[in-house]
A and B are shown apart, each in its own frame.
Chain A
Amino acid sequence: MALCGVISPSCVYACTRFRVRRTKLLSREAYRRIMRMSIPEVVTHLGRQEDYQEIMDLAGDFSGAQLIEEAVNRSLARSFRSAMAIAPGDLHTLTGEYLARWDIANVMAILRGTVHDVPRRQIRDLLIPAGELDSALLDRLLDLTGCGDVLESLQDWRLYPALAEYYRICGEKGVFARIEDELYQQYYAGLLGLAASGCSGCQELIAYLRFEIDITNMKNLLRLHCAKEACDITVVDRTMIPGGNIPLALFRRLYGIGTEEEFISVFLQMAIAPVLARAVRELRQDPNFSSTDAAELVWRRWHQHLRPVHELEMAITRVRLQQMDSLSRRHPFSVLPVLAYLERKRYEVANLRAIARGKAFGLPADRIWQYIVM
């Protein structure tokens, strides 16, 4: 498959449209204005925006921060489906593959809801049909009564092979977590496989995906390590995503390390250290923060069995998006502008949700700012 290998006019057209769409996303100034508003004012403001007109239709059913979250979720689903419609040919396939993470979340919600007898309406409110599985199919899945029936109806889904082996034990304790982890591993494997088939910007996309996988693996390793009881190495193996720059063996080795020197030397071998240092430099406005400082910071949290700091996670996400943006500028007619738009839109929705929820819980503005990705 050749994704925009030879740049076709339709590909140039689609990429240009995505770049134009990106310029329409909310700016820093717009966020500042929204931050000064109360929740009803935010609702009114979003109601006037072309992208968030759903908010007025939903005002009868929801209110406050819930209304904003529902509206931005629907806007996200509409934008992503429209992005799929714009993307031509193989770009469409890659976009679909990229958006499959929303399908995973929806399928898992339906499976869990079906097994735990959660009211259908409650599950329907949780679904964000931003992937390939459309609302009609999700509604059909919601009407099914058994876990097996749901799996059977998903036979045409691209990630079905990961589900097939769980047909007999679906609904047993701990199975859904395993299914979910396997679906995400399959998701990244599919994306890497598709990108490896060659296209304009695919090499950069692969590098970006590997970088994202490394960060996710490191975060999850910290999460597993901070549990009170040390978890089995098989759990570490099960939850690590293969395909990153850092081999899984290095993560396994890191998991067993108990001394500072060894930990820091292994951590510095990873490509994450400079990224983390950059994120901390930006977060703390400290230009002298080096990779070794970053490794020591991680060691301190590792040693004390603490999870990653949320503000730092957001800072790393900012660095990741900046990298995606610079890649998309360097390769304007490739898959990268499409994915840059999708990621930016995703975080715009996350930002509006964070502002609404933060305001609803009465958090101060400077605290909310720490969770905004721009």
Chain B
Amino acid sequence: MPIDEIKPTRAGLLIVRRRMALAERVHELLSMKLDGMMLELVRLTDRAALQRRELEELYTMAREMAAIAAMMEGATGVLLAALSVETVPTYTPGHKNVFGVHLPDLEPVAVRKTLDQRGYGVLGTSSVIDDAADAYENLLEAIIASAELEGGVKQLLDEIERTRRRVNALEFKVIPELVEKRRIIEDQRDEMERQEWTRLRRIKKIKAKRAEKL
């Protein structure tokens, strides 16, 4: 029932009181959730920033290794080694639950490989190709870890935004409206009680006057 349609009766007052108790409890819970999510966000953001810095370093290293591999083996040699890849690296998507928010949990699959699993022959390549492959495997792992953390930060931010809107709505709209409604109902009920009391006194006086006349 919309708040405007609640009648200034005892039942209406009970409804408002019940709603207020519920709103206050929800507000308290959501505030706690918001605080928890904020703490988690700070922790996750720090980790994501560290991971991003590491990713940038690994990217620079991988570029340098690719440059050295291209210098020693030529782009042709590097491409031939790249052509040998038989299992495409990927990840399995999952999720973990933090304060009811589904944060991504990505598991790298076939990213880090042994020399035997890479698909190229040992005799047809040199150690610089291994170094470049290692550097790119590290980079790929860091990309997946970074995507997991940054995806988590994004999800948490969205959820924090939604929760904050709810907390604010409860704090600045729903609860003040209910408080106001309760005040109006109580005032109206007091007014009605006073009217009733006055009416009864009036009737009592009239009855007393009639009794005197008789």
Within 8 A of B (CB), among A169-206: 173-174, 176-181, 183-185
Bin chain A's interface residue count: 35 or more
Within 8 A of A (CB), among B53-98: 63-64, 67-68, 70-72, 74-76, 79-80, 83-84, 86-87
A184–B121 CB distance below 8 A: yes
Q: Report if A85 contacts B (CB, 8 A).
A: no
A181–B79 CB distance below 8 A: no
In the bound assembly, the distance between CA atoms of A222 and B122 in angstroms comes to: 11
Within 8 A of B (CB), among A51-85: 65-66, 69, 73
One of A185, A227, A239, A363 near B67 (C-beta < 8 A): A363
In the bound assembly, the distance between CA atoms of A360 and B123 in angstroms comes to: 28
B83–A118 CB distance below 8 A: yes
Q: Report if B5 contacts A (CB, 8 A).
A: no
Residues of B within 8 A of A241 (CB): 123
In the bound assembly, the distance between CA atoms of A176 and B83 in angstroms comes to: 11
**In the complex, what residue of chain A is closest to B127 when comparing beta carbons?**
A307
In the bound assembly, the distance between CA atoms of A319 and B38 in angstroms comes to: 63
One of B74, B121, B124, B126 near A219 (C-beta < 8 A): B126
A177–B116 CB distance below 8 A: yes
In the bound assembly, the distance between CA atoms of A217 and B199 in angstroms comes to: 113
B75–A109 CB distance below 8 A: no
Shortest CB–CB separation between residue B183 and chain A, in angstroms? 71
Q: Report if A243 contacts B (CB, 8 A).
A: no
In the bound assembly, the distance between CA atoms of A113 and B80 in angstroms comes to: 9
In the bound assembly, the distance between CA atoms of A239 and B120 in angstroms comes to: 12
B121–A108 CB distance below 8 A: yes
Within 8 A of A (CB), among B110-141: 112, 114-124, 126-128, 130-131
Known: A180-B123, A307-B131. A229 touches B67 (CB 8 A): no
Residues of B within 8 A of A174 (CB): 86, 116-117, 119
Indicate the member of B63, B115, B120 with the most A CB atoms within 10 Å.
B115
Known: A220-B123, A222-B127, A223-B127; 12 extra A-B contacts, CB below 8 A, are: A108-B80, A108-B124, A125-B76, A180-B120, A180-B123, A224-B115, A227-B114, A228-B114, A231-B116, A239-B123, A314-B72, A358-B67
22 CB contacts below 8 A, A to B, read A73-B76, A105-B80, A105-B124, A108-B124, A109-B83, A118-B83, A126-B80, A176-B84, A176-B86, A177-B121, A180-B120, A181-B124, A226-B130, A227-B115, A228-B112, A231-B115, A239-B123, A307-B131, A360-B67, A363-B71, A371-B68, A371-B71
List the 5 shortest-distance A-B pairs measured between CB atoms, nearest first.
A180-B121, A361-B67, A184-B123, A354-B71, A239-B122
